[in-house]
Amino acid sequence: MSPNAKDIRKSIEQNWKEYLSRYGNLFSSDSVSGSSPPSVFVGSYGYPKVGVGPMVPPIHGDTSLLDLPEKWLGKTLEDIVNFRLKLVRGTQNVSVAQPKGRYIESLQELAMSSNTPDSDIVFQKHTMPITAIDGESAPFGPIG
């Protein structure tokens, strides 16, 4: 018998609690270090100034599976959501009319990487342990 939506949500919430207990110090830190899948976030809120930044889990090594949907065939919905929740989203507001500069160039290099480069994010404020599972956008973990 396959799990229903309530069971899947409960399991995801349990995995999130385990993640928070393992990486709870992340939310009192001003930085995170890990290997980006590679993955870059580009938001839409606040257009024409949108949040953009790297997605980095607090894990080093091959993290490519966390943001490689073509490899998710056969994975459960719970597995896929948990991959996404491990990604910490660093953001900086950027004008879509002026997508230039060193920050954007660094994000472009990250997005084009063929491996999982070690990445560091330094936050201006502490990360927030929230998740975005709203049915409209891809789930992701903490925001910094």
The 10 Å Cβ neighbour count of residue 58 is: 21
| pLDDT, tens digit, 9 for 90 and up, residues 11-26 | 877 877 787 777 777 6
* 135: in domain: no
In-domain check, residue 140: no
pLDDT digits (tens, 9 = 90+) for 45-70: 899 999 999 999 989 999 999 999 99
Does residue 139 form part of some domain? no
Each residue's pLDDT expressed in tens, for the chain with a length of 144 residues: 677 878 887 887 787 778 777 777 766 678 889 999 999 999 998 999 999 999 999 899 999 999 999 999 999 888 888 888 888 888 999 999 988 899 999 999 999 999 999 999 988 877 766 655 555 666 667 777
Of 143, 144, 140, whose CA–CA distance to 16 is shortest?
Answer: 140
Residue 104 lies in a domain: yes
> Does 86 fall in a domain?
yes
Distance CA 19, CA 85 (A): 9
* Total structural domains within the chain: 1
Q: Establish if 9 belongs to a structural domain.
A: yes
CA–CA distance, 56 with 34 (Å, rounded to integer)? 6
| Cα(47)–Cα(82) distance, integer angstroms | 29
Closest CA to 20 of 132, 129, 95, 120: 129
Domain span at residue 101 reads 5-122
